[in-house]
A and B are shown apart, each in its own frame.
Chain A
Amino acid sequence: MSVATSDLSDRTRTAENMLRIRVGILLLGLLVLPFVAPGYWIFFAGLLGINIIATQGLNIMMGYTGLLSLVHAAFVGVGAYTVAVMQARFDAPFWVTIPSAGILAAVIGLGFGLPSLRIRGLYLVIATLAAQFILHFVFVHWESVTKGDLGMTVAPASVFGFLLNTEVRVYYLILFFVIISTIFARNVINSRVGRAFIAIRERDLTAQVLGVEIVRYKFIAFALGSMYAGVAGGLLAYFNRYVNPEQFSLFLSVFFLAAVIVGGMGSILGAILGAAFMTILPEVLRGVALMIGGGFGFDLGTILTPLRETVFGILMVAFLVLEPRGLAELWNRFARRWAGKAKPSSH
């Protein structure tokens, strides 16, 4: 996964080139997608893009640095509300609101992380769980700013005078951010900072002995992950054009958690695969429930949410127990077999 950047052997260089070609084809496909695919797909692609950004963020914290966060949904919410409020109050353009969304989420994230990031594991989990509930409470009850349960509508973003008022146009904005955030995540992970993250995850005491300033890098990882959530939330506000507290419940935090686990912790590809899997899964479940439920006369409205919770839970447990490296590992294994020769993997 982490290819050394300095002295590439021939084989890794060809692998790198292959990757470039594949990514190029993928990008081309994504660019022309709106011209060939039905509108329903574009809607999904947009949602998927937002989920990918948020999952990348959680993956930086959890997958690479080992900091489990249950407040991710609320940080997405912070981003979404930042956009909604800044636009409603100051009529701020998107190139102001989206970065503000990221920065505010990072700052609030550090505020909650500060007391517990110095201590290990469990306390951070509990602190983030508390933060999730407290922030959700703020969304609901700080009515003078968030309009409470009523929610806020968001006017379409305007990019250099070009109004993003259709799903296709927002799709391109989201695609742009997905590309930027994926490249950024990849570069961070392949840098000194990323190696520090991984060292902390593997054994923090050893990392410290080797001269990694653990607390500082934990702060960086936490702020970075929260920033990704904030940006994803900002995009979500422009995408849905509506923000309300219900969207950012603990359930969504568990959704991102499951996405990281299913995709494969500590893998950029994994975050993308996991987000894709978890975005499509509810639709598949809805389809299955419709098919089966029609026969038995179930009330779909009441059964769908618990069914989703059950399946999310089963996936989390199954992947953690059976394949902790997630879909990314399954993908790599498949790709290797497909490549034919049983040459050793390059990572």
Chain B
Amino acid sequence: MSPFQLFIEYSVLGIAAGGVYALIALGIIVIFKASHMFNFAMGEMMMLSAYFFYAASVTFAFGPAIGLAIALAGSVAVALLIERVAIRPMLGRPFIAVVMVTFGVGSILRGVVGMIWGPNEMQIPAILARTPVFLGDIFVPGRTARAFAIATTIVVALIVYLRYSRAGVALRAAAADTVTAYSMGIDVRKVVAFSWVIAAITGCISGILMANVNTLTPHLGLVALNVLSVVILGGLASIGGVLVAGFIIGWLEAITVLFLPTEYREITPYILVLLVLLFRPNGLFGKPVVERI
């Protein structure tokens, strides 16, 4: 295979992975828009959802369809619980304190999953067909391609939904000016809870997709840390930028393998995030809204 073909193939693979990144990033951004808080527990929420799916579809043998429904319901319930117990009491407290709370929540979720399911790899039922997809000469593994298709569809659907629905308008109103939103009759607390529901849904689906493409371990949540660069590059303020940013980061991550030894793969996301912080801290499309000092 010529180097150029190799480059194209890796690029396609990377962009395909970027679709799922965008889905995870969307969950983080929606919460940030609604309440100006950053959820570092996103990865753990994702991982927990995948374990819910495993428990429902394998342990209790409900099959994938009902398993998905149960996983979604469980994820939403956990997200609402987190919001109610740990996040809402922190209203009006310093940004950093809320970030630390989400770290604590992440630690709890990781620990609970570890205690219940143990540290070993698990195989969730294959919901994605393995037959590869060919784009011309380029070979794309079946599960990666389908995960990409599903993730991208959901991201686009959610972007459209948040753009045109009443809930979406309420969300943007709350993001723009909390006090005015309140006075216009928008229940901002409900908007925040709603944003956690959205995050739970994107987390659940991306978790199951990730567990399908790779395997299910308690470390699955670490993927969400890769997504930090997507979130920053997409711009915390813009929901639309997230898809493009997801593709770019996925692509960059994949092609670094061509230039660097394979072990560098584990830290490319972090090098990328530092580079993004250095060069595009406001994101690709973001306005410079970051409060500088």
Inter-chain contact B105/A313, CB cutoff 8 Å? yes
| Contact A320 B273, CB 8 Å, known A126-B228, A215-B293 | no
Inter-chain contact A120/B228, CB cutoff 8 Å? no
B 76-133 contacts with A by CB, 8 A: 85-86, 89-90, 93-97, 99-101, 103-115, 118-119
Q: How far is the CA of A200 from the CA of B111 in the complex (A)?
A: 35
Inter-chain contact A314/B281, CB cutoff 8 Å? no
Which of A35-43, A102-110, A130-138, A173-181 forms part of the interface with chain B? A130-138
> A205: CB under 8 A from chain B?
yes
Inter-chain contact B100/A261, CB cutoff 8 Å? yes
Q: Distance in Å from the Cβ of B292 to the closest Cβ of chain A?
A: 6
Inter-chain contact A119/B290, CB cutoff 8 Å? yes
Inter-chain contact A122/B111, CB cutoff 8 Å? no
B8 contact set on A, CB distance < 8 A: none
B285 contact set on A, CB distance < 8 A: none
Which of B201-209, B248-256, B264-272 forms part of the interface with chain A? B264-272
Inter-chain contact A121/B281, CB cutoff 8 Å? no
A 77-136 contacts with B by CB, 8 A: 112, 115-116, 118-123, 125-127, 129-131, 133-134
Q: Distance in Å from the Cβ of A142 to the closest Cβ of chain B?
A: 11
> B278: CB under 8 A from chain A?
yes
Inter-chain contact A305/B114, CB cutoff 8 Å? yes
Inter-chain contact B111/A320, CB cutoff 8 Å? no
Inter-chain contact B107/A125, CB cutoff 8 Å? no
Inter-chain contact A306/B101, CB cutoff 8 Å? no
Inter-chain contact A208/B293, CB cutoff 8 Å? yes
| Size bracket, chain B contacts | 35 or more
- Per-residue contact bits, chain A 311-333, to B (CB 8 Å; 1 contact, 0 not): 11111110011001000000000
Q: How far is the CA of A336 from the CA of B204 in the complex (A)?
A: 49
Inter-chain contact A130/B292, CB cutoff 8 Å? no
Q: How far is the CA of A120 from the CA of B278 in the complex (A)?
A: 14
Q: Distance in Å from the Cβ of A258 to the closest Cβ of chain B?
A: 8
Inter-chain contact B111/A307, CB cutoff 8 Å? yes
> B291: CB under 8 A from chain A?
yes
B108 contact set on A, CB distance < 8 A: 309-310, 313-314, 317
> A199: CB under 8 A from chain B?
no
Q: How far is the CA of A62 from the CA of B96 in the complex (A)?
A: 9
- Per-residue contact bits, chain A 125-167, to B (CB 8 Å; 1 contact, 0 not): 1110111011001000100000000000000000000000000
A263 contact set on B, CB distance < 8 A: none
Other A-B pairs beyond A119-B281, A127-B277, A308-B111, 19, CB < 8 Å: A112-B274, A115-B274, A119-B290, A122-B38, A122-B99, A126-B228, A130-B270, A130-B274, A131-B270, A134-B267, A205-B293, A208-B293, A302-B114, A306-B113, A310-B108, A313-B105, A313-B111, A317-B101, A320-B101
Chain A contact residues, CB within 8 Å of chain B: 62, 66, 68, 112, 115-116, 118-123, 125-127, 129-131, 133-134, 137, 141, 204-205, 208, 214-215, 254, 257-258, 261, 302-303, 305-317, 320-321, 324
Chain B contact residues, CB within 8 Å of chain A: 38, 40, 85-86, 89-90, 93-97, 99-101, 103-115, 118-119, 218, 225, 228, 232, 236, 263, 266-267, 270-271, 273-274, 277-278, 281, 290-293
The contact sample of 14 A-B pairs, CB cut-off 8 A, is A68-B96, A119-B290, A119-B292, A122-B99, A123-B290, A129-B228, A129-B270, A133-B267, A137-B266, A303-B115, A310-B111, A312-B107, A313-B111, A321-B101
